[in-house]
Amino acid sequence: MHEFSICRTLVLQVEDAAREYDARSVISITVSLGPLSGIHADELRQAFPLVSAGSMAQDAQLLIDYKPLQWRCQACGREDESDAAVERCTDCGSDRLQLLSGDQVVLEHLEVSR
């Protein structure tokens, strides 16, 4: 379960950012996940309390913002969103699709207490 290593990295990143703002603790953390990120949100939520124990984020609420898959057809130029991987353009049927977003794991927002 690689969610533990993702959580470890997230907590380190959160602590670094919180220290920059002279925070005492972290209140909430918002992470955006795309459908192709390979991260299971439930497993990330389960790992978070274990990994954040003893850190500035130990009492923080972990919020997950799901972002859709965004793609562009390189044949006809259509851009669209979906919740799952797309193999062909819904307009022209081409398989020449460019992923614009949907594979991300991004720390979007951090709320801290000073």
Listed in sequence order, the residues at least 6 apart from 21 whose beta carbon sits closer than 8 Å to its beta carbon are: 112, 114
Kindly report the number of other CB atoms within 10 A of residue 9's CB atom.
13
Q: What contacts 31, CB < 8 A, 6 or more positions away?
A: 10, 44, 62, 63, 64, 65, 105, 106, 107, 108
Neighbours of 81 (CB within 10 A): 13
Mean of all residue pLDDT scores within the chain: 94
In the chain, which residue ranges form alpha helices assigned H by DSSP? Answer: 3-20, 41-52
pLDDT at position 19: 94
The CATH classification number of 3-68+101-113 equals 3.30.2320.50
Please tell me what DSSP assigns to residue 105: E
Give the pLDDT confidence of 67-110 residue by residue, as tens digits. 999 999 999 999 999 988 889 999 999 999 999 999 999 999 99
pTM (predicted TM-score): 0.83
Calculate mean pLDDT across residues 25-34. 96
Q: How confident is the model at residue 1 (pLDDT cuts 50, 70, 90)?
A: low
All structural domains of the chain with their residue ranges: 3-68+101-113
Which percentage of the chain shows pLDDT scores above 90? 89
